[in-house]
């Protein structure tokens, strides 16, 4: 039998590998595959039409508007004037500062609390796990409008739950949502105390997929449960953590319902956030060009944060 030196690849196999690795998908082949799988594309068509009408076209139109001074009859092209106004605006800087503070506090707290709760729930039996999954996921399917109304009642100055509890200790009532020093922190506390149900569900699923042989080997080496969690569980959960951090950051930068339901951006601009500012600029002041520029700047900010988080939390495996 003819021996082949190690590392060498037969000529025929080399040619085959080249053909496989080469991207030779011509437009005709792509069209042929689309015709062959036409039923799948028909099922996707309604969703694609809705996405195009209500997401793609509005995004492109917002970008176009950002270079215009919008008028119903004949808009005027103003170049980068709207962007200059955005960066010179004191209101935008305040909204950005408030949004950053909201994000920096709520995102790490939500992800870390979801991780810790998932680790505790994972040690329970299947029935108990199902119970806690349902309990923590329930607020996720509840409308944020309803949650905001409940919390607004709890923060009420005259008969709210928090001021009622403070009265037990002889502390006078606090105007939680009516003064600049506490309004934003009241919203942050509310967001932190809403369970991150999606994170708990995803962490539990990811923990269940980790091979038990890793933990057995660690136990044989004398590693404690805490060390196993630190050196095995957390590193292998990095892809899930990355996804949840990205998801939470995007949602946090787009916080709107809590603001409009509870404070309206006040008192003053104490709770003004970027999306609420964009809403007011477009639909209260009817400056759609400026609102479009603010939206584009917000998109760039979220993109920068997402890229940084991806580079820090990405996993090689």
Structure tokens, 42: 């028909």
- Tens digit of pLDDT for each residue in 114-164? 999 999 998 888 888 889 888 888 888 888 999 999 999 999 998 899 999
Phi/psi of residue 68, nearest 5 degrees:
-130, 160
Q: How many CA atoms lie within 13 A of 247 on its CB side?
A: 13
For range 48-77, the mean pLDDT: 88
User: For the whole model, what pTM was predicted?
Assistant: 0.84
Name the residue ranges covered by the structural domains of the chain: 89-313
- Tens digit of pLDDT for each residue in 194-238? 888 899 999 999 998 988 899 889 889 888 888 888 889 998 999
Q: Per-residue pLDDT for 16 more than 80?
A: no
Q: What percent of the chain has pLDDT above 90?
A: 55
- Tens digit of pLDDT for each residue in 242-264? 999 999 999 999 999 999 999 99
Residue 6: which pLDDT band, with cuts at 50, 70 and 90?
A: very low
Residue 266: which pLDDT band, with cuts at 50, 70 and 90?
A: confident
Q: What is the rounded distance in angstroms from the CA atom of residue 233 to the CA atom of residue 209? A: 11
| 89-313 CATH | 1.10.3720.10
Question: How would you classify residue 243: left for phi > 0, otherwise alpha for psi between -120 and 50, otherwise beta?
Answer: alpha
């Amino acid at each position: 039998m003819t021996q082949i030196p190690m590392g060498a690849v037969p000529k025929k196999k080399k040619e085959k590998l080249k053909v496989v690795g080469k991207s030779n998908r011509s437009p005709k082949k792509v069209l042929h595959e689309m015709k062959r799988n036409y039923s799948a594309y028909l099922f996707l068509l309604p969703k694609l039409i809705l996405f195009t009408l209500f997401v793609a076209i509005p995004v492109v139109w917002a970008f176009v508007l950002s270079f215009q001074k919008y008028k119903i009859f004949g808009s005027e092209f103003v170049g980068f004037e709207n962007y200059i106004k955005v960066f010179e605006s004191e209101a935008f800087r305040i909204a950005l500062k408030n949004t950053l503070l909201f994000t920096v506090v709520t995102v790490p707290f939500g992800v870390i609390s979801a991780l810790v709760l998932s680790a505790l729930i994972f040690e329970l039996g299947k029935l108990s796990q199902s119970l806690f999954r349902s309990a923590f996921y329930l607020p996720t399917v509840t409308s944020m409008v309803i949650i905001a109304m409940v919390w607004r009642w709890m923060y009420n100055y005259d008969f709210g739950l928090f001021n009622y509890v403070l009265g037990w200790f002889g502390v006078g009532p606090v105007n939680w949502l009516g003064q600049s020093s506490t309004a934003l922190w009241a919203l942050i506390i509310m967001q932190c105390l809403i369970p991150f149900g999606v994170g708990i569900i995803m962490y539990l699923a990811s923990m269940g997929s980790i091979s038990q042989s890793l933990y057995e080997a660690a136990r044989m080496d004398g590693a404690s449960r805490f060390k196993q969690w630190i050196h095995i569980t957390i590193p292998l959960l990095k892809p899930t953590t990355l996804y949840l951090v990205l998801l939470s950051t995007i949602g946090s930068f787009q916080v709107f319902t809590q603001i409009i339901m509870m404070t309206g951006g006040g008192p003053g601009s104490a709770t003004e956030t970027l999306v609420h500012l964009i809403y007011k600029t477009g639909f209260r002041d009817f400056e759609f060009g400026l609102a479009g520029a603010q939206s584009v700047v917000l998109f760039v900010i979220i993109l920068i944060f997402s890229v940084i988080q991806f580079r820090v939390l990405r996993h090689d495996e």
